[in-house]
Amino acid sequence: MGLDIFIATNNYKDVFTIDYFKNEKEFRLKMSLSRDFCNLMCRQRTAKGIPEFVQVAQLAQVDITSILDMENGSTNIDSVYQTITQLLERLSKIDNLEGKINHDGYDRTGIEYYFSDFNLDKGEGYTGNNFGQDLRNFKRFLEYAKSKGTTDVSFEYGS
């Protein structure tokens, strides 16, 4: 067992409907964030140097404040969606992303695997995801949540 990360919404009952749970396997494949993404977010507090996610954002020249703010409570879904879209667009053009990240000797997120092959989905929606797949899943979830009327999102942690 370990710690997982979930995207919470201001309208939980509208988003997580009976249909959502009937198709949970399909939704999980397309919209879940991996445990590696959870570790990446937790590294914001534990990295000795610049956290990996901040390094990635700097390489892409994208302000990730809206995503980081999701840890502290509700954040506007449109600003998060814009940030995720910018990351996807800009990072898809960076070759060898994994080789450009300094992990200060702590490689819990599996830098070489997690940040490699950004444009390919390497995992099963939860296990084995790479960063690109997690961002695509994140974007799909935001699109789904927006279609259900969500205005605010945040991160929740659990197992």
Instruction: Please state the φ and ψ torsions of residue 146, each to the nearest 5 degrees.
Output: -60, -35
Q: Measure CA 89 to chain center.
A: 15
- pLDDT band at residue 38, thresholds of 50, 70 and 90? very high
Distance CA 27, CA 58 (A): 31
pLDDT top residue among 123 and 2: 123
Distance CA 63, CA 28 (A): 27
Question: Would you state the structure tokens that stand for residue 75, as one six-digit string?
Answer: 């954040």
Q: Tell me, what's the pLDDT at 11?
A: 97
Question: Can you point out the beta strands (E) in the chain?
Answer: 4-9, 75-76, 152-158
Q: Mean pLDDT throughout 59-72?
A: 97
Instruction: Please state the φ and ψ torsions of residue 107, each to the nearest 5 degrees.
Output: -115, 45
- Residue 59: CB atoms within 10 Å: 14
Residues in CB range of 35: below 8 A, 6 or more apart? 2, 3, 4, 5, 126, 127
pLDDT tens digits, 102-156: 877 666 557 788 999 999 999 876 688 999 999 999 999 999 999 999 999 999 9
Q: Tell me, what's the pLDDT at 55?
A: 95
Q: Mean pLDDT throughout 2-28?
A: 86
pTM of the model: 0.93
Question: Would you state the structure tokens that stand for residue 100, as one six-digit string?
Answer: 């450009």
pLDDT top residue among 126 and 89: 89
**Range with the lowest mean pLDDT among 4-18, 52-66, 71-85, 114-128?**
114-128
- Residue 34: CB atoms within 10 Å: 23
Q: Tell me, what's the pLDDT at 109?
A: 52
Q: Tell me the sheet residues that pair with 4.
A: 158
Q: Tell me, what's the pLDDT at 47?
A: 82
Distance CA 10, CA 73 (A): 10
